[in-house]
Amino acid sequence: MSDSASAVPTRVSFVTALHFWLKLGFISFGGPAGQIAIMHQELVERRRWISERRFLHALNYCMVLPGPEAQQLAIYIGWLLHRHWGGIVAGVLFVLPSLFILIALSWLYIAYGEQPLVAGLFYGIKPAVTAIVLQAAHRIGSRALQNNWLWSIAAAAFVAIFALEVPFPLIVLGAALAGFVGGRLAPQYFAVGGGHAGQQRDYGPALIDDDTPPPAHARFHLSRLIILLLVGGLLWLLPMALLCALFGWQGTLTQMAWFFTKAALLTFGGAYAVLPYVYQGAVGHYGWLTPTQMIDGLALGETTPGPLIMVVAFVGFVGAYVQPVFGPESAFVGGALAAALVTWFTFLPSFLFILAGGPLVESTHNELKFTAPLTGITAAVVGVIVNLALFFAWHVLWPQGWSGSFEWPAALIALLAALALLLFKRGVIEVLAGAALLGLLAQTLR
């Protein structure tokens, strides 16, 4: 190891961190797996702001939380480095670029989505999205499922959600219990990294290293927790009260705010696990958009930076645009406002979970009794993501249901996309572009 690699990095200034978080907001493509990989490469390997063990411990905590784990991980590391404002800046910049981009793309989709050119492009993109979700399961599983115990938890989670339709919160609780028991019976298999923590690479000393004590602001204080909860409660209550006063409880914007608050609090496992819940509510219950529009929205989310759960901005925009809350002449304004509102209510809990729970996590990063349940939950999420891949495959390959025809061109595009991602290791944007062209070709030849 060279002298530069063995030297402890110097303190990171707030401005330096701000520049990195802003850059990350524009380059964080590839869904949660790709975003976590980018942060690992930049923060653990290259800059060495945090050690791999501390990075994985924070990631395991974010995986157990409802909400987007990649954005929560950014908040966590920003908070460790620069207190509460560091976490807030990291979390906001992680989603802000994608919000503006998705508002623009959502409008273009509504305005021109029925055009043959656009329809053909989306015909190819949708099966590629199915392959991307499958790749996410493979990437997370290859890191998390390091032994038969964890494989068993993943398989049980898949059966529970696919065949038995067990609610995801119950799956999380079951996986946590399995991890807790497994940590007692076979602790070597439930350490951070699934029993392979010793195989983690050494990138040299980190600014926040394995044995670095938590900074003063990362230690638990009851008064600080109470203040955080009060501020967070007001940041939720005030806009919700204003929506109720202006539009009533049954108003579209009010119901969107309430639904995405529940989505933020009641769904676990990151974007790929929350999407079936969003689909069920936004498509099945409220009818804000159609199943095809939901998959198209996910395709747009895959092609933009930021957390994949930003598809909620697409859902909000389409729902308020198609059923204009301010009248047809102001449909865009209503859609843009709805996109911003659902983003606010979806991501607000993530900041509270990290800023309030971070001190507890920092005090447990070497205690297996706390990390083993999180390892079990990480394994269960893999099974849930496989279920989501099958869910999308069914809607893409049999768009009219089992009684309809099988879409052979879409199946071929999905297979080629999967080979490109898994075998030839091509990038997500590259695969989506190629799939879009194949979809246009297939629609032209029909």
Residue 302 belongs to some domain of the structure: yes
Residue 93 belongs to some domain of the structure: no
Q: Who has greater pLDDT, 102 or 301?
A: 102
Taking the model in full, what pTM does it have?
0.74
pLDDT-derived band at 159, boundaries 50, 70, 90: very high
C-alpha of 140 from chain center:
12
Residue-range definition of the domain harbouring residue 140: 98-192+216-445
Residue 5 belongs to some domain of the structure: no
Contacts of 143 (CB under 8 A, 6+ apart): 193
Residue 23 belongs to some domain of the structure: no
Reading phi first (left if > 0) and then psi (alpha if -120 to 50, else beta), residue 419 is in: alpha
Residue 198 belongs to some domain of the structure: no
What is the tens place of the pLDDT at every residue in 265-296? 876 656 666 777 787 788 888 999 988 788 78
pLDDT at position 294 is 84
Residue 30 belongs to some domain of the structure: no
Whole-number Å distance between alpha carbons of 395 and 115: 21
Residue 22 belongs to some domain of the structure: no
Please report, for residues 25, 132, 135, 241, 413, the alpha-carbon distance to residue 426 in angstroms, rounded to integers and kept in the order given: 21, 11, 11, 47, 15
Residue 197 belongs to some domain of the structure: no
Structural domain tally of the chain? 1
Structural contact between residues 317 and 103, judged by C-beta atoms closer than 8 angstroms: yes
What is the tens place of the pLDDT at every residue in 67-96? 788 899 999 999 999 999 999 999 999 999
pLDDT at position 196 is 40
